[in-house]
């Protein structure tokens, strides 16, 4: 064995203790660290011939990167839709690496029970019926990929074909209809060979809305003349947290042939609170459903779930048969259900966090985050410096600078705010206007953080 490897292996408790100290140093500073920093490229290191050993490598890492690592899992990173890591999730994630299990099948451990159990817990959290099977994937983009891959195969079946077996040329071009689809849907369409242009944008409701106009959708379906298609419903749009009327979409299913995929990457967590749950009424009609875990579940990257009522299609699309892997059993192993073959025990951080904080814990996080979004929204509404672009519906505040605004002015403001180091916000365009988003999905964020951020926003306006 290589000397450094042998030495490290005999000193593992010391090394883990040192790592714990470095972790606690970071976590103790999380409230005061800048949530984001400007990128500056390093000169890359040379690969050492002999290796430094872990202790020196940790020292090197801390010296080279430790000070500049941002607190993007801290309370004031409000860019994109970014969760943090609950203490329980951190413990689960640590153990995931300790066990380093390849969770492909039931052939060599009982660990698949952890994923199956986590999925049951999540179904309860989201109020989904047992008919929804769930599988962990790396993020909402991959969950959208899996959901639309199933939709594509379902369409092929309507023609008595299989795209999984015979390829896309087996069926006529496939249309995908959506109101305000997330950008990841376009990426997924590119990956699936349907093409970004297969998405037909359907009108959204008038006013400051991003929810699909159901009558416009009905007309678009009518124009397809009974040709089956995919409808992507949006439950929580990234700009304003708006929701399609899922119940109305569900009722269209009795008249038109379509696969209903619901992208509820963060909006799915509306189910955690009786104040917001009704936004998801009708979700049971989804054929496939995306929910992210690394957003509002507050588990570390990368983690999300694809749920579906059509497990047979999942096997048709994702099966990976080989003599050395064994036959497809019932229930099928995970490698027959997800895009990945080898996959980590990604469910463990979720399992820990769900068991540690339960229904009430997640209700409190969701309600506090939404309340804080409203506090910020109210301040913006009353201010002469900023202007709300849409009402605050859930956990996202979409606003802009008062006065003449363009994307350059917004970009410069956001760079000043980032460099100030108290809060991090990201840009957008909403209904043609250059805007700013603040998304609340971190368990650490409190009302004091709104005070700190508000001062930073006003000092840098
Ligand atoms: C509605 C929605 N769908 C999909 C995604 C993509 O998520 P991920 O980055 O986890 O792939 C996001 C990310 O913000 C989102 O908000």
Each residue's pLDDT expressed in tens, for the chain with a length of 461 residues: 999 999 999 999 999 999 999 999 999 999 999 999 999 899 999 999 999 999 999 999 999 999 999 999 999 999 999 999 999 999 999 999 999 999 998 888 999 999 999 999 999 999 999 999 999 999 999 999 999 999 999 999 999 999 999 999 989 999 999 999 999 999 999 999 999 999 999 999 999 999 999 999 999 999 999 999 999 999 999 999 999 999 999 999 999 999 999 999 999 999 999 999 999 999 999 999 999 999 999 999 999 999 999 999 999 999 998 888 888 888 899 999 999 999 999 999 999 999 999 999 999 999 999 999 999 999 999 999 999 999 999 999 999 999 999 999 999 999 999 999 999 999 999 999 999 999 999 999 999 999 999 999 999 99
The residue whose CA is least distant from atom 1 of ligand 1 is 265
What spacing in Å lies between the alpha carbon of 22 and ligand 1's midpoint?
Answer: 31
- How confident is the model at residue 134, as a pLDDT? 98
* pTM given for the model: 0.98
What spacing in Å lies between the alpha carbon of 306 and ligand 1's midpoint?
Answer: 13
What spacing in Å lies between the alpha carbon of 291 and ligand 1's midpoint?
Answer: 9
- How confident is the model at residue 107, as a pLDDT? 85
- How confident is the model at residue 323, as a pLDDT? 87
- How confident is the model at residue 106, as a pLDDT? 85
What spacing in Å lies between the alpha carbon of 140 and ligand 1's midpoint?
Answer: 5
- How confident is the model at residue 170, as a pLDDT? 86
- How confident is the model at residue 243, as a pLDDT? 98
Number of the ligand 1 atom closest to the C-alpha atom of 144: 4
- Mutating to test ligand 1, I would choose from 78, 181, 292 the residue with most ligand atoms within 8 A of its C-beta, which is 292
What spacing in Å lies between the alpha carbon of 327 and ligand 1's midpoint?
Answer: 34
| Ligand 1 residue neighbourhood (C-beta within 6 Å) | 80-81, 139-141, 182, 184, 236, 238, 263, 265-266, 292, 304
What spacing in Å lies between the alpha carbon of 323 and ligand 1's midpoint?
Answer: 36
- How confident is the model at residue 325, as a pLDDT? 85
The residue whose CA is least distant from atom 13 of ligand 1 is 81
The strand pair at 288-292 and 258-263 is best described as parallel
């Amino acid at each position: 064995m290589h000397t450094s490897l042998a030495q490290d292996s005999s000193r593992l408790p010391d090394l883990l203790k040192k790592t714990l100290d470095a972790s606690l140093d970071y976590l103790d500073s999380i409230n005061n660290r800048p949530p984001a920093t400007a990128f500056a490229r390093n000169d890359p290191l040379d690969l050492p011939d002999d290796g430094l050993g872990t202790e020196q490598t940790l020292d090197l890492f801390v010296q080279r990167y430790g000070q500049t690592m941002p607190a993007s899992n801290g309370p004031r990173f409000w860019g994109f839709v970014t969760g943090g890591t609950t203490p329980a999730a951190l413990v689960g994630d640590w153990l995931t690496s300790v066990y380093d299990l390849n969770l492909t099948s039931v052939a060599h451990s009982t660990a698949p029970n952890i994923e199956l159990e986590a999925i049951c817990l999540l179904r309860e959290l989201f109020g989904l019926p047992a008919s929804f099977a769930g599988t962990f994937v790396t993020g909402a983009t991959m969950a959208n990929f899996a959901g639309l891959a199933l939709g594509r195969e379902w369409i092929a079946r309507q023609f008595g074909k299989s795209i999984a077996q015979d390829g896309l040329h087996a069926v006529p071009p496939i249309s995908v209809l959506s109101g305000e689809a997330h950008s990841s849907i376009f990426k997924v369409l590119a990956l699936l060979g349907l093409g970004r242009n297969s998405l037909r944008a359907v009108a959204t409701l008038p006013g400051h809305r991003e929810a699909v106009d159901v009558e416009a959708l009905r007309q678009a379906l009518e124009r397809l003349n009974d040709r089956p298609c995919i409808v992507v419903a949006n439950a929580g749009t990234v700009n304003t947290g708006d929701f399609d009327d899922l119940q109305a979409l569900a009722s269209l299913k009795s008249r038109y042939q379509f696969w209903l995929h619901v992208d509820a990457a963060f909006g799915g967590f509306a189910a955690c609170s009786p104040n917001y749950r009704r936004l998801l009424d009708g979700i049971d009609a989804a054929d496939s459903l995306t929910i992210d875990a690394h957003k509002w579940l507050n588990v570390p990257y990368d983690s999300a779930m694809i749920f579906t009522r059509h497990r047979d299609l999942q096997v048709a699309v994702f099966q990976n048969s080989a003599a050395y892997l064994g036959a497809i059993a019932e229930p099928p192993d995970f490698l027959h259900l997800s895009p990945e073959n080898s996959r980590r025990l990604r469910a463990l951080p979720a399992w820990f966090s769900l068991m540690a904080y339960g229904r009430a814990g997640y209700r409190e996080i969701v309600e506090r985050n939404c309340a804080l979004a409203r506090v910020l929204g109210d301040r913006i509404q009353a201010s002469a410096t900023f202007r709300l672009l849409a009402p605050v519906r859930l956990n996202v505040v979409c606003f802009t600078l008062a006065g003449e605004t363009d994307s350059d002015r917004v970009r410069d403001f956001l760079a000043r705010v980032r460099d100030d180091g108290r809060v991090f916000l990201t840009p957008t365009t909403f209904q043609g206007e250059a805007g700013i988003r603040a998304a609340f999905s971190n368990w650490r964020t409190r009302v004091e953080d709104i005070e700190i951020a508000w001062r930073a926003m006003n000092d840098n306006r």
